[in-house]
């Protein structure tokens, strides 16, 4: 896995103003959601007039319409990073927040025997199932429509403590409820002596001013237009410093966290990492 990677942004090397513009990237994404989702949302409201009075339905309709394009763009930008990271996946894999299945094509099926794709959103589950069929993973990948915090559902399917070889989190820990508790539960699910956590997440910036900008977006608007995503989570640190369900400190034989596009101007700094359980 490379030590550090940067997403291609050549303008930042030429015009300092381009760096400042990055502070408005969340606004641009919000406008994109509005532009892409406007017509489908209006059409949905015409067909379902009882939803007109529901702010939740307006938001859901916009997201359902816009997310496929935004997820596809994100996948294109991060494809190389995903390929390098997910090449490490092996055995029984638990993917948290599998979304529409953009990560599935990166798994090496000579090393992966089973993928449990966890996704709570109904629209995403339908797209996820189509992607499984499209790439021929019907015998390997099984979907579960639930949140990763739904321990009872996981237990029903045999996903219990120390049964998972590889936990995969790709741009999902930013929006799950109670992230530190969830990370602790994920650690407990991983097999000891070689089980691993693979993650690719955006995180809180290490630069004070950029972190203030992230906090403002997260407090005022960002989670409400992106399905609960928060820009200011210290996900990498939380994973390294987690505890198991009993409260005992996690022990990793290897905890490699790499920064991607982590400049002071970037409101969306990312990390990728591989943490191997003792």
pTM comes to 0.84
Query: 66: exposed, middle or buried (C-beta count within 10 Å: 0-12, 13-18, 19+)?
Result: buried
Whether the pLDDT of residue 51 is over 90: the answer is: no
Question: Helices in 137-242 by DSSP H: which ranges?
Answer: 151-156, 179-189, 208-220, 222-225, 235-240
Mean pLDDT for 49-63 is: 79
Which of the pair, 250 or 186, is modelled with greater confidence?
186
Asked whether 276 and 196 are in contact (CB, 8 A), the reply is yes
Q: Indicate the CATH number for domain 10-277.
A: 3.40.50.150
| 100-140: pLDDT as tens digits | 999 999 999 999 999 999 999 888 999 999 999 999 999 99
Whether the pLDDT of residue 13 is over 80: the answer is: no
Distance CA 213, CA 205 (A): 10
Other CB atoms within a 10 A radius of the CB of residue 72 amount to 12
Helix (H, G, I), strand (E, B) or coil at 174: coil
How sure is the predictor about 11, in pLDDT bands with cuts at 50, 70 and 90? very low
Instruction: Look at residues 93, 131, 127 and name the one whose alpha carbon lies nearest to residue 113.
Output: 93
pLDDT at 3 (0 to 100): 52
pLDDT at 14 (0 to 100): 47
| 137-178: pLDDT as tens digits | 999 999 999 999 999 999 999 999 999 999 999 999 999 989
Distance CA 39, CA 47 (A): 12
Query: What residue spans define the domains of the chain?
Result: 10-277
- The fraction of the chain above a pLDDT of 70, given in percent, is 91
| 194-220: pLDDT as tens digits | 999 999 999 999 999 999 999 999 998
């Amino acid at each position: 896995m490379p030590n550090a990677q940067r997403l291609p942004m050549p303008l930042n090397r030429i015009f300092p103003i381009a760096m400042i513009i990055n502070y408005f990237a969340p606004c641009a994404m919000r406008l994109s959601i509005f532009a892409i989702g406007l017509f489908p949302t209006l059409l949905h409201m015409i067909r379902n007039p009882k939803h007109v009075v529901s702010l939740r339905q307006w938001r859901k309709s916009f997201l359902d319409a816009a997310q496929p394009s935004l997820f596809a763009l994100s996948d294109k930008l991060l494809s190389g990073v995903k390929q390098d990271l997910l090449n490490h996946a092996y055995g029984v894999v638990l993917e948290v927040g599998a979304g529409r299945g953009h990560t599935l094509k990166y798994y090496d099926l000579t090393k992966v025997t089973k993928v449990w794709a966890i996704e709570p959103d109904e629209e995403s589950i339908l797209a996820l199932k189509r992607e499984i069929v499209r790439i021929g993973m019907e015998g390997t990948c099984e979907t579960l429509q639930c949140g990763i915090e739904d321990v009872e559902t996981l237990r029903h399917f045999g996903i219990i403590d120390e049964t998972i070889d590889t936990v995969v989190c790709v741009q999902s820990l930013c929006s799950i409820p109670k992230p530190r508790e969830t990370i602790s539960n994920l650690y407990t699910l991983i097999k000891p002596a070689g089980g691993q956590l693979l993650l690719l997440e955006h995180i809180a910036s290490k630069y004070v001013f950029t972190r203030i900008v992230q906090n403002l977006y997260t407090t005022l608007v960002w989670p409400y237009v992106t399905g609960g995503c928060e820009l200011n989570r210290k996900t990498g640190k939380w994973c390294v410093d987690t505890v198991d369900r009993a409260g005992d400190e996690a022990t990793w034989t290897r905890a490699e966290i790499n920064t991607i596009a982590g400049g002071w101007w970037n409101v969306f700094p990312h990390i990728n990492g591989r943490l191997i359980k003792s």
